[in-house]
Amino acid sequence: MGYDLIVVGGGPAGMLGAAAAAEKGLKVVLLEKNEKLGKKLYITGKGRCNVTNNGDMDDFLRNITTNKKFLYSSLYSFSNQSLIELLHSLGVKTKVERGSRVFPVSDKSSDVIKALSRHLHENHVEVRLNTEVKRVTQEGSCTTGVMLRNGSLVKGQKVLLATGGLSYHQTGSTGDGYRMAGQLGHSVIEPKPALVPLVCREKWAKDLQGLTLKNVSVSAVVNNRAVTEQFGELLFTHFGVSGPVILSISSYLKNYWSQAPVKLWVDLKPALSIEQLDMRLQRDFQTYQSKHLKNALDDLLPQRMIPVIIGLSGLDEHKQINQITRLERDKLAHTFKNITITATGTRPLAEAIVTSGGINTKEINSSTLESKLIKGLYFAGEVIDVDALTGGYNLQIAFSTGYLSGSSAAQN
Ligand SMILES: Cc1cc2nc3c(=O)[nH]c(=O)nc-3n(C[C@H](O)[C@H](O)[C@H](O)COP(=O)(O)OP(=O)(O)OC[C@H]3O[C@@H](n4cnc5c(N)ncnc54)[C@H](O)[C@@H]3O)c2cc1C
């Protein structure tokens, strides 16, 4: 006997899709190739799981970087508040942190996974682990089920592909959904890394590995055109730069790497105008008159950054402060507000927090998430060509599209 719905992939999208369909009376099986559910969910938010964002719809739409309009129906049918209510009903209390990020009070992603597993169980979803799907079977333009890696067939009227993207593939997201949908005639927008660290050219930046700069502003400039400006925390690494501000920037740069290198203009003091910064320098120089330049900037910069800034300004670090000319002070202030880092590319897709690209949204009905090409085939989560910035938006997209696809499968 067949199933009403076969869900492929036990990540947040698949789990919610399966539960939503079963809640509405469908006989549902969830097939997951890993030995457990939610392997990627487990590592989200450094194990704390930034499950959604508490912002309003406008805020959500501002933070979605690819195909926001496509997501309207999904986000309206299962909003951040719906998710928070569901988690509460399943015994997971939540809290809101900086930037309206929502986490479980326990700070444990495993609590979210356990709750969703219970939700599946209570709705009588049959969960089969260690079960890898190889392809979706079809008759004419309708789905008939799936074929497993071991060659056996699982029959089902409808199939929901929730196999995730291509990043952090050790968690099971190995791009299988792109291949399976491609076999059925779907086009796949080239998967590219998003929310990913950037590789840079400057040796001084790599030498600063481990140093974090807080509250800086970074503008990405390609061919003299500013692509985006972001504000936040920057981290130097052995290959270049990372940290929240860089991850956000990377999501806007995904279509610009053919025009690399990209210039990153870092403003270390975005809250001060150049005149205010100059006044601040004059005050500090008054206090440290008899010191050498390298010993006079401690109030403005982290220790390791001082020789770098002095070097980039072309000044002599041993010059005594009362010998520094106005021109030299100007140079220093300008460097504070405009350090250039040359980004030559991104780290590989495997290291990206999300995959940008995926199943072409033009071939999916945004109100049901059913394929426009194959009847009975649905999509949810990162396998679709959608992605967002950090802050809980990507998980909400997975949950919302999961819910909408599962409930539409039950209605159609
Ligand atoms: C390190 C890291 C931290 C993150 N932190 C956050 C965060 O705090 N907040 C946030 O909003 N987002 C975060 N994300 C992004 C978020 O985890 C993903 O966007 C989300 O997990 C996508 O959900 P999904 O269900 O579509 O896919 P996935 O979670 O990737 O799940 C897909 C599932 O399908 C299974 N599968 C694949 N192919 C097959 C097959 N052939 N047969 C059977 N099963 C298959 C996989 O094994 C996997 O379990 C983070 C991502 C990473 C990598």
DSSP secondary structure, 387-406, as one string = EE-SSSHHHHHHHHHHHHHH
Q: Which residue is closest in CA terms to ligand 1's atom 14?
A: 44
In angstroms, what is the span from residue 178 Cα to ligand 1's centroid?
14
User: What three-state secondary structure class fits 178?
Assistant: helix
Say what the pLDDT of residue 344 is.
97
Given a contact cutoff of 8 angstroms between Cβ atoms, the answer to whether 136 and 159 are in contact is: yes
Q: Where are the alpha helices (DSSP H) in 44-129?
A: 57-63, 72-77, 80-89, 109-122
DSSP secondary structure, 192-222, as one string = EEES--EEE--HHHHHTTT-EEEEEEEEEEE
In angstroms, what is the span from residue 39 Cα to ligand 1's centroid?
7
pLDDT at 23 over 90: yes
- Cβ–ligand 1 distance for 162 under 6 Å, the answer yes
Q: Which residue is closest in CA terms to ligand 1's atom 37?
A: 163
In angstroms, what is the span from residue 56 Cα to ligand 1's centroid?
24
Mean pLDDT, the chain, integer: 97
Quick one: CA dihedral 81, 83, 86, 91, positive or negative? negative
Mean pLDDT of 45-61: 96
Question: What's the whole-model pTM score?
Answer: 0.95
- Cβ–ligand 1 distance for 381 under 6 Å, the answer yes
Say what the pLDDT of residue 412 is.
72
Tell me which amino acid residue 93 is. Answer: K
- Cβ–ligand 1 distance for 8 under 6 Å, the answer yes
Q: Which of 6, 15, 40, 63 to mutate to test the pocket of ligand 1 (most atoms within 8 A of CB)?
A: 40
Mean pLDDT of 36-44: 98
Given a contact cutoff of 8 angstroms between Cβ atoms, the answer to whether 27 and 89 are in contact is: no
- Cβ–ligand 1 distance for 133 under 6 Å, the answer yes
Domain ranges, ordered by start, for the chain: 3-192+355-411, 197-346
pLDDT digits (tens, 9 = 90+) for 122-138: 999 999 999 999 999 99
- Cβ–ligand 1 distance for 10 under 6 Å, the answer yes
In angstroms, what is the span from residue 89 Cα to ligand 1's centroid?
23
d(CA 68, CA 240): 30
DSSP secondary structure, 222-264, as one string = ETTEEEEEEEEEEEE-SSEEESHHHHHHHHHHTTTGGGPPEEE
pLDDT digits (tens, 9 = 90+) for 172-209: 999 999 999 999 999 999 999 999 999 999 999 999 99
Q: Which of 44, 59, 64, 101 to mutate to test the pocket of ligand 1 (most atoms within 8 A of CB)?
A: 44
Angle between helices 393-411 and 80-89 (to 10 degrees): 80
- Cβ–ligand 1 distance for 163 under 6 Å, the answer yes
pLDDT at 101 over 90: yes
In angstroms, what is the span from residue 174 Cα to ligand 1's centroid?
10
Within a 10 A sphere around the Cβ of 72, how many other Cβ atoms?
Answer: 14
Q: Was domain 197-346 assigned CATH 1.10.8.50?
A: yes
Instruction: Please name which of 45, 109, 12, 130 lies closest in space to residue 403, comparing C-alpha atoms.
Output: 12
Task: Fill in the DSSP letter of residue 33.
Answer: S
Instruction: Please name which of 387, 410, 403 lies closest in space to residue 70, comparing C-alpha atoms.
Output: 387
Say what the pLDDT of residue 213 is.
97
**Which residues are bridge partners to 137 per DSSP?**
145
Say what the pLDDT of residue 1 is.
61
pLDDT digits (tens, 9 = 90+) for 258-311: 998 999 999 999 999 999 999 999 999 999 999 999 999 999 999 999 999 999
Q: Which of 353, 384, 389, 396 to mutate to test the pocket of ligand 1 (most atoms within 8 A of CB)?
A: 353
Given a contact cutoff of 8 angstroms between Cβ atoms, the answer to whether 233 and 212 are in contact is: yes
- The alpha-carbon radius of gyration of the chain (Å, integer) is 25
d(CA 226, CA 168): 30
Q: Was domain 3-192+355-411 assigned CATH 2.60.40.1930?
A: no
Residues in the chain, overall count: 412
Q: Which residue is closest in CA terms to ligand 1's atom 52?
A: 353
In angstroms, what is the span from residue 317 Cα to ligand 1's centroid?
49
- Cβ–ligand 1 distance for 44 under 6 Å, the answer yes
In this structure, are strands 52-53 and 142-148 parallel, antiparallel, or unpaired? unpaired
